[in-house]
Chain A
Amino acid sequence: MSVVVEAKRLSRTFGGLAAVDAVSLDLRLGEVHAVIGTNGAGKSTLVNLLSGELPLTSGEIRFGDDDITGWSQPRRARAGIGRSYQRTTIFDSFSVLENCRLSAQAALQRPWQVWQSAQRCAGSREVAAQALQAAGLADRADRIAGTLSHGQKRQLEIAMCLATKPRVLLLDEPLAGMGAEETERMLALLQSLKAGHAILLIEHDMDAVFRIADRITVMVNGAVIASDAPQRIREHPQVVTAYLGEAHS
C-alpha cells in the first residue's frame, strides 16, 4: 500500500513541556491507522500538527511528493487532508446540505463570480449530495444542522470532511458520546471509506479500534511507545504497563 502521509519526528513543545515528542508515523492508502494512548498523551495535539492548525516545533511532514511542513491548514485541506473534530464543529444554523455544500465550495471557490447564486452552484451541490449519501444523511439534507441528534451531528462531521474530497482523513474521536447503534453505523461508514482513503483514527473505544484498525500506534506522555499490528500491540509489555500500571506478578 502506498504511503500517503509520512510524519518524521514531529515535536511540539510549550515552554519546556513536550506535548508531542519526536513522533513518527505514516498513513497508507486503504488503511486505518489508529492512535491510542492514556490521558494527556498528545493525540489531539498530533492531529492538530498534521492538519496544520498548530505549527511544528521540529520535524517534517510529507504528503505524497510534497513537503507540507510549512503549509497552512487551508492549503493542506485543499491538497486533500481532511479532518473531523472531537467536539462537533459544524455550522449549526445552516441546513445539513448547506453544511456540506459550503465545505465542497472550498474546492471551487471563485469568489469574484458574485453574480452566481451559491445555492444553485451545481458543482458544490453535487459533491455535497454525494458526501451526504456516503455518510447516510441524504434523507436529512434539509434539516437545520443544530436540530440533529448527537450521532447524526458526528456523521455530518464526517460528511463535511468527505465533501472536500480528501485523500487523507484525520478523525479525532468520531465515536465520542455515541450509543451502541450509532457506533455500529459509524464503524460501517468508516469501513466503507477505507478503500479510497488513508485514515488516522484517534479513539478510546478499544472494541471499535480493534475491529477496524490495521495498525495501532500507542502514545504516552507525547511519545510513541509502540506501533504495530493490533494483536501484537495487545501483548506489548510497555503498552500493558502503560495501561495497567506495573506488570502483575
Chain B
Amino acid sequence: MVIAWSRWLPLVAPLALLLALALLPAVLSPYLMDLTVKILISAIFALSLQLLVGTTGLVSLGHAAFLGIGAYVTVLASPQGEGASLWWLLPAAMAGAAAYALFVGALSLRTRGVYFIMVTLAFAQMAYFVFHDTRLGGGSDGIYLYVRPVLRLGDTTLLDLENKRQVYGLVLASLAFTWGLLALLLRSRFGHALQGIRVNEARMRAVGFRTYGYKLAAFVIAGALAGLAGALFAIQDGVVNPELLSWHESGAVLLMIILGGLGPLRGAIVGAVAFTLLKELFASEGLVGPLAAHWQMTLGFTIIAFVALLPRGIVGIRLRRGAA
C-alpha cells in the first residue's frame, strides 16, 4: 500500500490541488480571489524561471522583460472598442515575449556565469527603458486595457473576461497547462539533457550535445511562458506599466524559486505562494501594526532567515518518520 501511494502521489497531488483551487472561488471574498489570481499568475511566472534556473542552471536576472513584453503586447494589440479574441491574443503575447527571448538568448548564451547574469539584466533594462521613456507604452504611467479580450467559438462566448470568476478560470487553466507542459518536458529527453547541462556542461559537450542549442530552446520556452504570465496580469489588472519589466520584478521571481526550492516544479509554486503571502502579511497593518510601513525590511530579513536555515528551499524540508 505504501509503495503504491508514493508512485501515484506525484500525479494525484497536483490534480487534487487543481480541484481544490477550482472550487475556491465559491468561498472567497473578492479581495481574496484577486489575491489568489495574483498568486496563481506569479506561480506561472516562477515556473517559467524554474525551467531556466532550476533545470538548466542558467541564472537570469532579466526574466521580467518577458513578463512585461507579454503584458504590453496584450494591451497594445487589443483594439480600443471591443474585446480582442483570446484565440490569437494569448499566442501573440507569448510569441512577442519569445521573440525577444530568442534575441536576448542568442546573444547572452555566448557568455557564462556572472557575465551571463549581467548580460540578461542589461537586456531587461534595455526593454524597460524602451517602455519607460518612449511613447510606445505610454511612458511611465503605463496604458490601460479598455476592453478585456473574449474567447468566442462561432456565436457563443466561451469566456467573458470582464467576469472575475472567468478570469480566475482562465488563469487556473493556464497554470495547469504550464505545469503540465513543464512536467512533460522534464520527463523527456530534452529535459534530461537540460539537467545534464546544469550538472556538467563540459561532459555534455564531450559526449556530443550541442549545448548552445538546448540552452537557447530553454531560454525561449521560458520567455514564452513568462509572456503568458504577463498577458494574464494585463487581463487581470486592466493596466500595464513599465515597472513590470524592472529588475525588482526579476529579482522577486528569482527570490520566489530560491525560497520555494530550486529544481522541482512544486518549488516554484510553493515559492510564489510563500513570497506573495509573506509580502501581504508584512504589509498589512492589521497583522503587524506599525511595522507594515517597513514591509520591505521585514520581508528581507525573513527571506535571509529562510535561505540561511533552508538552503534547499521550503520543499527541501524533509519530514522524517522513523527510518529515513
- Give A102 to B190 CA distance when docked, in angstroms: 10
Contact pick for B192, options A51, A73, A118, CB 8 Å = A118
Chain B residues within an 8 Å CB radius of A124: 189
Q: Which residue of B lies closest to A89 (CB)?
A: B203
Number of interface residues, chain A, beta carbon within 8 A: 40
Decide if B200 touches A89 in the complex (CB within 8 Å): yes
Decide if A90 touches B189 in the complex (CB within 8 Å): no
Task: Indicate if A160 sits at the interface (CB-CB under 8 A).
Answer: yes
Assuming A91-B203, A118-B187, what are 17 further A-B pairs, CB within 8 angstroms?
A: A51-B206, A53-B202, A72-B210, A74-B209, A77-B208, A85-B203, A89-B200, A89-B203, A92-B199, A105-B192, A109-B209, A111-B189, A111-B217, A112-B190, A114-B190, A115-B184, A118-B191
Given contacts A105-B192, A114-B188, contact A94 B199 (CB under 8 A): yes
Contact pick for A105, options B187, B193, B199, B202, CB 8 Å = B193
Q: What's the nearest-Cβ distance from chain A to residue B204, in Å?
A: 8
- Give A85 to B205 CA distance when docked, in angstroms: 13
- Give A75 to B185 CA distance when docked, in angstroms: 25
Contact pick for A160, options B188, B203, B209, B210, CB 8 Å = B203
Chain A 207-248, CB-CB to B under 8 Å as 1, else 0, gives: 000000000000000000000000000000000000000000
Please, could you name 21 A-B residue pairs with CB atoms under 8 Å apart, sorted by A? A73-B206, A74-B209, A77-B206, A77-B207, A77-B208, A89-B206, A94-B199, A98-B192, A103-B203, A105-B189, A106-B209, A107-B208, A109-B189, A109-B193, A112-B190, A119-B192, A121-B189, A160-B207, A161-B207, A163-B207, A164-B207
Decide if B206 touches A118 in the complex (CB within 8 Å): no
Task: Indicate if A33 sits at the interface (CB-CB under 8 A).
Answer: no
Decide if A90 touches B200 in the complex (CB within 8 Å): yes
Chain A residues within an 8 Å CB radius of B188: 111, 113-118
- Give A45 to B242 CA distance when docked, in angstroms: 50
- Give A53 to B196 CA distance when docked, in angstroms: 18
- Give A115 to B211 CA distance when docked, in angstroms: 21
- Give A93 to B190 CA distance when docked, in angstroms: 18
Task: Indicate if B214 sits at the interface (CB-CB under 8 A).
Answer: yes
Chain A residues within an 8 Å CB radius of B187: 117-119
Task: Indicate if A197 sits at the interface (CB-CB under 8 A).
Answer: no
Chain A 28-42, CB-CB to B under 8 Å as 1, else 0, gives: 000000000000000
- Give A75 to B204 CA distance when docked, in angstroms: 12
Q: What's the nearest-Cβ distance from chain B to residue A111, in Å?
A: 4
Chain A residues within an 8 Å CB radius of B202: 53, 85, 89
Chain A residues within an 8 Å CB radius of B185: 114
Chain B residues within an 8 Å CB radius of A91: 196, 199-200, 203
Contact pick for A111, options B184, B205, B207, B214, CB 8 Å = B214
Given contacts A115-B184, A116-B189, contact A106 B207 (CB under 8 A): yes
Decide if A93 touches B206 in the complex (CB within 8 Å): no
Chain A 49-86, CB-CB to B under 8 Å as 1, else 0, gives: 00101000000000000000000111101100011010
- Give A77 to B207 CA distance when docked, in angstroms: 5
Restricting to B301-323, which residues have a CB under 8 Å from any CB of A?
A: none
Decide if B189 touches A110 in the complex (CB within 8 Å): yes
- By Cβ-Cβ distance, the 3 closest A-B pairs, closest first, are A106-B208, A77-B208, A78-B208
Chain B residues within an 8 Å CB radius of A94: 195-196, 199
Chain A residues within an 8 Å CB radius of B200: 89-92
Chain A residues within an 8 Å CB radius of B191: 114, 118
Q: Which residue of A lies closest to B184 (CB)?
A: A114
Q: Which residue of B lies closest to A116 (CB)?
A: B188
Contact pick for A74, options B190, B192, B211, B217, CB 8 Å = B211
Q: Which residue of B lies closest to A112 (CB)?
A: B190
Decide if B199 touches A93 in the complex (CB within 8 Å): yes
- Give A119 to B188 CA distance when docked, in angstroms: 8
Chain A residues within an 8 Å CB radius of B189: 105, 109-111, 113, 116, 118, 121, 124
Chain B residues within an 8 Å CB radius of A82: 206-207
Restricting to B77-106, which residues have a CB under 8 Å from any CB of A?
A: none
- Give A2 to B18 CA distance when docked, in angstroms: 63
Chain B residues within an 8 Å CB radius of A161: 207
Q: What's the nearest-Cβ distance from chain A to residue B274, in Å?
A: 25
Chain A residues within an 8 Å CB radius of B184: 114-115
- Give A51 to B206 CA distance when docked, in angstroms: 8
Chain B residues within an 8 Å CB radius of A118: 187-189, 191-192
Q: What's the nearest-Cβ distance from chain A to residue B53, in Å?
A: 16
Decide if A77 touches B203 in the complex (CB within 8 Å): no
- Give A249 to B242 CA distance when docked, in angstroms: 83
